[in-house]
Amino acid sequence: MKILWTEHAAACLVEIEDYIATDNPMAAELWVEQLVQRTRILAAHPLAGRKLPEMPKSSLRELIESNYRIVYRVTGETVEILTVFERHRQLREDEV
């Protein structure tokens, strides 16, 4: 399967990197790479993530990486990464 990062999800990565880089630029780069690396499992196993708890009837799924949630959906032969955000938050329907 193909993995496609939406513009919004890519912008989330930039925000995460910028925030972490204020303290440690090298760590920020490594952390963002770790988040991207985490999604590579989806190419072979698109249903590896759990269903989104706050929207159980939707087709949205998520992978957890440390303190971050990576939200995605599977459409045909594509896995769309929709957003990345801190784990303590819940996703609102207007954010997808």
- Predicted TM-score of the model (pTM): 0.91
Ordered per-residue pLDDT tens for the chain, 96 residues: 999 999 999 999 999 999 999 999 999 999 999 999 999 999 999 999 999 999 988 999 999 999 999 999 999 999 999 999 998 888 877 677
E strands in the chain: 2-5, 50-51, 61-65, 68-75, 78-86
Find out whether 72 and 60 touch, Cβ atoms under 8 Å.
Answer: yes
Find out whether 20 and 33 touch, Cβ atoms under 8 Å.
Answer: no
Distance from C-alpha of 31 to C-alpha of 33, rounded to nearest angstrom: 5
Q: Which has the closest alpha carbon to 69: 43, 30, 95? A: 95
Domains and CATH numbers, the chain: 2-88 (3.30.2310.20)
